[in-house]
Homo-oligomer: A and B are copies of this chain.
Amino acid sequence: MKAAAADQPAGNRRRSRRAGRPLAPVITADSIADAAIGLLDESGDFTMAQLARRLGVGASALYNHVTGKEEVLARVRELVSDRIDTDVFDSVPFFDALLVWARSYRDAFARHPATIAVFATTALDGAGRTTGMYERVVAAFLRAGWPEDDVMTTLVALEDFIMGAALDAVAPADMFQLRSPQDAPTLSRVTAAARRSPSGTRPAQASFEAGIEAMLTGLRVRLARLSA
């Protein structure tokens, strides 16, 4: 009745590894984070059991490499932060760079909705890539002449909008598609008009562009006022 253990070393399809320490580690903290981001991309969430299954180990094996799910999410955040473009600040004018940065920031997180709440509420722990991202953006604010004591306030305001837009990007397209339009005639009229409009872009996308444009317009005014 015993199934033959015919696994190739590289294969992870079938379950067969006897208990005890393997000759070489099967997983690493990095491979765990990679697998997590894969699951996040595919289904928007992950469990420790799914993670372990994908890596071909038991769930408890994960805890030899990470302290728990929270650390996995923190590591995912680092990987996601890495996709945010901060190089633009060296090549184009400040406000133009801010627009590119904001778009890449929103896109990076819109693909991983499960990380948004964690990202927004977990403290930075030092030397990571997320900290590096902030360091470069803050430096750009200062080079643009932004008052030192207003940089964080403004940067976080921008982040608030970006995170809200990332959350919205995963909302159902028909959020405002009412069953009984007569209960909210004005809302129905306006959502219908939006659908007819020749935007081409998806609604969430259009709102992001409208919002970031308004915000940057307002921030130009703010900078002028604070500089005066």
Contact = CB atoms under 8 A, between A and B. Distances in A.
A156 B207 contact: yes
A207 B126 contact: no
A183 B218 contact: no
Interface stretch (A10-18, A46-54, A88-96, A134-142): A134-142
A164 B132 CA distance: 22
B157 A207 contact: yes
A150 B179 CA distance: 22
Contacts of A211: 157-158, 160-161, 215
Number of copies of chain A assembled together: 2
A187 interface: yes
B121 A171 contact: yes
Interface residues of A, number: 77
Contacts of A134: 176, 184, 187
* 3 smallest beta-carbon distances between A and B, as pairs: A214-B218, A164-B164, A157-B211
Given A164-B164, A164-B165, 11 more contacts: A116-B167, A122-B172, A134-B184, A138-B187, A150-B197, A152-B190, A153-B194, A157-B208, A161-B215, A163-B168, A217-B217
15 contacts: A126-B183, A134-B176, A134-B187, A149-B194, A151-B190, A152-B176, A153-B203, A160-B161, A160-B168, A161-B215, A164-B167, A211-B215, A213-B218, A214-B217, A217-B222
